[in-house]
Amino acid sequence: MAKLTLKERFKKVSAGSGDAARASKFATSIFRPGSPFRKGYSDSPRNRSYVVMNNVLYHLHPVKVKRHGVRLSYTLCLGGMSFFLFIVLTITGIWLMFYFRPTEMAYADIQALQTSVAFGSLVRNMHRWGAHLMVLVVFLHMSRVFYHGAYKAPREFNWVIGVILLFLTLFLSFTGYLLPWDQLAIWAVTVGGNMASYTPVFGAQIKFGLFAGLEATTATLLRFYVLHVLFFPFIIVIFMAIHFWRVRKDGGISGPL
């Protein structure tokens, strides 16, 4: 027997499997025309367009993109990674909220999460390392955009939005830093808050507003918690929507160099 390529083998295995299910009324009610999950999908230019057009999530993309833009070496997928990490952080963050109270119980809750909740430690680690990674990736994304000169007309304002997104990312990370309520958290945030207090004229007021008092207490914890899980995510999602929308309105990816 002739040796099959991987593609042929896949076709042989998958031929007919699930066809009845994929052709069922139930499946066709879920997957819109052009979906690869629908029966009768074939690789045609029309279906390639439908895949994007007929799906609310993929619709973030245009149907066609510049050929040089899909090279991994051009974007390094850094913008997409930032967004993906944000999604991962949202999901793990919501999961962590089930086990966390922003009170004097916070530290005990984190300990309980690590010791007596299934996958608690893993999810907490993912949230923390993912957050550090996101700061890094967003920064690298900015550097990539700079080195490609991608902030130039007509993309000037999207760069401004991007800088705001970088700062929002930093704020998100910083407000989350306090939540474990251990010595690392409280003193890192104290240092950060002291930096903010050097602001001319309003320094003391800014620190007071940030800490909900003169120093980091459980009131600060509650304040940072609300900022972290509600306020900044809300703001950053708005700016991300503008950012993604502007990418397309400004003519897609920049370049080629």
Partner 1 sequence: MVDIPEHLLLRSAEARAKALGITVEQALAEMKGESAPTVVDDEPEVIEVDLPTPVKAEAPAPVETPKVEEAPAKAEAPAPVETPKVEEAPAKAEAPAPAKAATPAPAKADTPEEVDFAPEVKVTQRLLTVVKAKPIQKAASEPVDKVNTWPHLMLPEFISLMAMMAFLILLSAILQAPLLEEANPNITPNPAKAPWYFLGLQEALSYWDPQIAGVMIPLVIGLIGFAAIPYIDRNKENNPSKRKYAIMMYTFFLAGAGTLTIIGVLFRGPGWNWTYPWIDGIWFDDLLDWIYFE
Site for partner 1 in 13-52 (CB under 8 A): 45, 48-49, 51-52
- CB-CB contact of 254 with 150 (8 Å): yes
Binding characters for partner 1, 119-158, by CB under 8 A (x = yes): --xxxxxx-xxx-xx-x---x--xx--xxxxxxxx-xx--
CA–CA gap between residue 96 and residue 114 (Å, rounded): 11
CB of 131 to partner 1, least distance (A): 9
Choosing from 39, 103, 217, 246, the residue that interacts with partner 1 (CB under 8 A) is: 217
CB-CB neighbours of 224 under 10 Å: 25
State yes or no: residue 103 binds partner 1 (CB under 8 A): no
Question: Binding to partner 1 (CB under 8 A): which residues in 218-257?
Answer: 254-255, 257
CB of 10 to partner 1, least distance (A): 15
Choosing from 180, 211, 225, 243, the residue that interacts with partner 1 (CB under 8 A) is: 180
State yes or no: residue 70 binds partner 1 (CB under 8 A): yes
Q: Which CB atom, from 1 or from 116, has the smaller least distance to partner 1?
A: 116
For residue 36, give the nearest of 26, 47, 25 by alpha carbon.
47
CB of 234 to partner 1, least distance (A): 20
The total number of residues shown for the chain amounts to 257
CA 93-99-104 angle, to 5 degrees, is 110
User: C-alpha 58: how far from its chain's center?
Assistant: 16
> DSSP assignment, residue 58?
G
